[in-house]
Amino acid sequence: MQTTRAKLEVGGQLAIDGGKPVRSSLLPYGRQTIAEDDIAAVVRVLRSDWLTTGPAVTEFEQAFAAVTGAESAVSVSSGTAALHAMMHALRIGPGDEVIVPTMTFAGTANAVRFAGGQPVFADVDAATLLIDPDSVAARIGPRTRAIVAVDYAGQPCDYDALSDIAQDKGLALLSDACHSLGASYRGNPVGCLTAMTVFSFHPVKAITTAEGGMVTVSDNGLADRLRAFRNHCMNADHQIRAANGTWAYEIAELGWNYRLNDMQCALGLSQLGKLPEFIGKRQALAGRYDELLADVPGVTPLAVLAERTHAYHLYVVQLDLDALTVDRGAVFAALRAEGIGVNVHYLPVHRQPLYRDARGSCPVAEAAYERMLSLPIFPTMTMTDVEDVVTALRKVLYAYRR
């Protein structure tokens, strides 16, 4: 441990100023974990009769529903497609408002607009950056139809408080769990906590299908609407038509081509079996960060609330800019020069040019954005990698101290 502590206290000239970097190659903030059995699963599908709308899709959906405790699961081509399909299933349309947190990826809000509705942005809690129930309650109006809770960074929201608000106002409570697959809230897995929950399988997420998404549902009627929507709103897909020996189908609503193919589903099914291992590794890495950052002045990790397990899609810290001579942008650039692939998640969506006309303000999210950094975290990282990140962070913050 003495060697580790000595390493973590190294100073010296910053790499951005010509000094030696902590790492010779960039450590990314996230990346996929693909093994030979994942590759073999995809190859088996390539050698089969079905490349899309085949049995691997059904197998993946059924296994995913079992893992998340949901009644049904419907696969789609991306997390954004899942959000869009969720809005369609709820029949969101022109004149409807949906409350979303501003601290999220833009797809959460964009999907409301895809359906013709209007996103209304709620602020977040300062310690966790999760949607603030008080801010939600203050933004409910006569046109509000739904609330979308976003499990930012992988930590479940306060679903009890949000459920109370939704039930009191007669609103649908939905979940964007694109960060939180493998997490739980009061002993229940994310995926069965609201009427519909969406997930993403982008390469940096808990499991990957390269691109892809899923909606878990508690109502089979909603599942039927989701399945139709992903396939042009046809009333029979190719597999059903083949089984029935017919070419006929009907389209009564406008749908999209949002299908997830069998190759992707085979990869997803293989990855799903490794989910506990992947989440366990993320949690161990986060625990090491917590330990090492405890005595680093000017850096505060996000708070973790009681009665939750955290999936740690992201490990986000906030900087004490009053203790530094530079802004977050300078710290970001210096860390990248040290070989640490930090990132920023996210510019509050209401500050995007697309949403300049959004009503209200979100001062907590705006203040957090100026101070936040996402540190690298993914299952194949090592504890030595974590020590490199903290070494670089110490080095940069020491150089820029007041």
Collect contacts of 10-13 with beta carbons under 8 A, ≥24 apart: 10/391, 10/394, 10/395, 11/394, 11/395, 11/398, 11/399, 12/395
- Residue 305 and residue 235 share a domain: no
User: Is residue 245 very low, low, confident or very high in pLDDT (cuts 50, 70, 90)?
Assistant: confident
Residue from 31, 8, 28 nearest 339 by CA: 28
Q: Average pLDDT over the chain, rounded to whole? A: 95
- Residue 355 and residue 266 share a domain: no
- Residue 205 and residue 182 share a domain: yes
| In the predicted structure, residue 85 carries a pLDDT above the cut 50 | yes
386: CATH: 3.90.1150.10
- Residue 294 and residue 235 share a domain: no
Using CA of residue 333, residue 335, residue 341, residue 342, what is the dihedral sign? negative
| In the predicted structure, residue 194 carries a pLDDT above the cut 90 | yes
CB 96 within 8 A of CB 120: no
Cα–Cα distance for residue pair 175/218, rounded to 1 Å: 12
Cα–Cα distance for residue pair 24/7, rounded to 1 Å: 16
Report CA 382 to chain centroid distance, whole Å. Answer: 22
> What strand order describes the sheet that includes 72-76?
72-76, 213-217, 196-200, 172-176, 144-150, 97-101, 118-122
- Residue 392 and residue 338 share a domain: yes
Kindly give, in sequence order, each residue whose CB lies less than 8 Å from that of residue 18, ignoring residues fewer than 6 positions away: none
Boundary (domain end) residue, out of 272, 302, 323: 272
**Helix (H), strand (E) at residue 58:** helix 55-68
| In the predicted structure, residue 244 carries a pLDDT above the cut 90 | no
| In the predicted structure, residue 64 carries a pLDDT above the cut 90 | yes
Share of the chain above pLDDT 70, in %: 95
Cα–Cα distance for residue pair 177/187, rounded to 1 Å: 16
Peptide bond into 346 cis (omega under 30): yes
- Residue 74 and residue 26 share a domain: no
Share of the chain above pLDDT 90, in %: 91
- Residue 221 and residue 135 share a domain: yes
- Residue 242 and residue 140 share a domain: yes
Average pLDDT over residues 117-136: 98
Domain that residue 229 falls in? 36-272
- Residue 279 and residue 233 share a domain: no
CB 318 within 8 A of CB 371: yes
Please give the pLDDT value at position 3: 38
Whole-model pTM: value is: 0.94
- Residue 244 and residue 132 share a domain: yes
Average pLDDT over residues 302-316: 98
Average pLDDT over residues 363-371: 98
Average pLDDT over residues 174-188: 98
| pLDDT single digits (tens) 335-345 | 999 999 999 99
Boundary (domain end) residue, out of 272, 296, 330: 272
**Which positions are catalytic?**
205
Q: How many domains does the chain have?
A: 2
64: CATH: 3.40.640.10
Kindly give, in sequence order, each residue whose CB lies less than 8 Å from that of residue 172, ignoring residues fewer than 6 positions away: 90, 145, 146, 147, 166, 195
User: If DSSP codes are grouped into helix, strand and coil, which group holds residue 137?
Assistant: helix
Q: Are strands 184-185 and 188-189 parallel, antiparallel or unpaired?
A: antiparallel
User: Is residue 10 very low, low, confident or very high in pLDDT (cuts 50, 70, 90)?
Assistant: low
* The token pair that represents 313 in the structure block: 């899609």
Side chain identity at residue 113, one-letter code: R
| In the predicted structure, residue 2 carries a pLDDT above the cut 60 | no
How far from 192 is each of 16, 63, 197, 198, 219, CA to CA, in Å? 47, 14, 7, 11, 11
User: Is residue 11 very low, low, confident or very high in pLDDT (cuts 50, 70, 90)?
Assistant: low
Please give the pLDDT value at position 4: 47
Please give the pLDDT value at position 12: 85
- Residue 303 and residue 194 share a domain: no
- Residue 255 and residue 237 share a domain: yes
Average pLDDT over residues 308-316: 98
* The token pair that represents 287 in the structure block: 């625990």
Boundary (domain end) residue, out of 272, 300, 321: 272
Dmax (CA) for the chain in angstroms is 75
